[in-house]
Chain A
């Protein structure tokens, strides 16, 4: 199991007495989300979080394949690798990232809270985003309009990625060097070529031995 499809879902839900939680609970309530503030969905201190910044070890390689967020309140998601934002304006200035209107979560969500329309995605994260071994990555959620302090809305973000671990991470690095897209098919293709090479070498050695 060295190539695994993984997802992470964040929502601004936490127990009443806390702003963030490591485990979802049945008593979770919506938390206030400020306008124009970037929240790291992993360790941003709002909603469900994890124990440490998201990073790859020396033997891991991550390929981020999809990001999405709730479309209401002007939500958007940005990917940051180490200190560099992935989505930039044409003048190379910062921007908020992919709007939830372009990549809605859930797909089919309404454009306003409680609305009746069904949004479809206008955006595909292709080519994928690579997180190389040893890099830290963040998924930053922001919204143009703050949630009301009295009528708090639930907002969410979603990330889909594939985790390559151990030998498959080494192959992913090799594919990157070769300029080949990193996906499970190509990793399998590289393994097959290695096996075929070994077999050819073994046959040639055996033939040479007989001669």
Chain B
């Protein structure tokens, strides 16, 4: 089991729940101190390679500035129904998503990459090319929200594939060769190795 599909779901209402004070700030879904957390920062060891394939967060809808009633189950504030949440990926100290002026932004809007997906909220965004976390790197997924009246149900979802041991070495080799790292290509590389060994024998 050296290639494993993994997911991480973060729920801001669990354990120490988010409060209005966190509105406008970035919260790490791994070690941010709010919602469910893990024991230490997310990082790859020397023999691991992580490929982040999807990030998503609670969506919002755009309505009228005077509306105060719930819309599609989401609380409305200042014309936005929902938390107005965004999700950013950080590798070591570098934010992945930037504005066109090369300044780091809040990341992917939940409106573009909703979690959960529904008829009301469908994705406009797919994370392609994937984000690679090389051996020895620390990575983080940061959620921010701006609606201080709708933060109780902020959730975030991360889907990634963990390559470990020999498969992480192959992932590095594929990276050098300029080949996309996915389970199909790792298997292809293994097959070519076996075929070349068989041909020599």
Contact = CB atoms under 8 A, between A and B. Distances in A.
Interface in A90-130: 105-109, 113-114, 118, 120
B62 A70 contact: yes
Contact of A11 (B62, B67, B91, B98): B62
B108 interface: yes
Contact of A8 (B100, B118, B131, B178): B100
Contacts of B122: 106-108, 120
Interface in B109-136: 109, 111-112, 114, 118-129, 131-132
Given A13-B79, A54-B101, A30 B120 contact: no
B62 A153 contact: yes
Chain A interface SS verdict (over half) = mixed
A114 B114 contact: no
A83 interface: no
A160 B124 contact: yes
A172 to B, nearest CB: 13
Interface in B78-110: 78-80, 84, 91, 94, 96-101, 103, 105-106, 108-109
A6 B64 CA distance: 28
A151 B80 CA distance: 13
B112 A9 contact: yes
B66 A151 contact: yes
B160 interface: no
A191 B178 contact: yes
Interface stretch (A20-28, A173-181, A200-208): A20-28
Interface in A181-195: 184-185, 187-188, 191-192, 195
A42 interface: yes
Nearest to A131: B100
Interface string A36-75: 0000001000000011101100000010001010100000
Contact of A4 (B96, B103, B108): B96
A8 B99 contact: yes
Contact of A26 (B23, B64, B126): B23
Contacts of A137: 100
A35 interface: no
A6 B129 CA distance: 10
A153 B179 contact: no
A62 B99 CA distance: 12
B146 A25 contact: yes
B64 A7 contact: no
A34 interface: no
User: When A and B form their complex, which 5 residue pairs have the shortest distance between CB atoms, in order from nearest?
Assistant: A191-B178, A54-B100, A154-B79, A107-B122, A154-B62
Given A28-B78, A105-B112, 10 more contacts: A8-B105, A24-B84, A55-B100, A106-B61, A155-B62, A158-B109, A184-B129, A187-B178, A192-B177, A195-B178
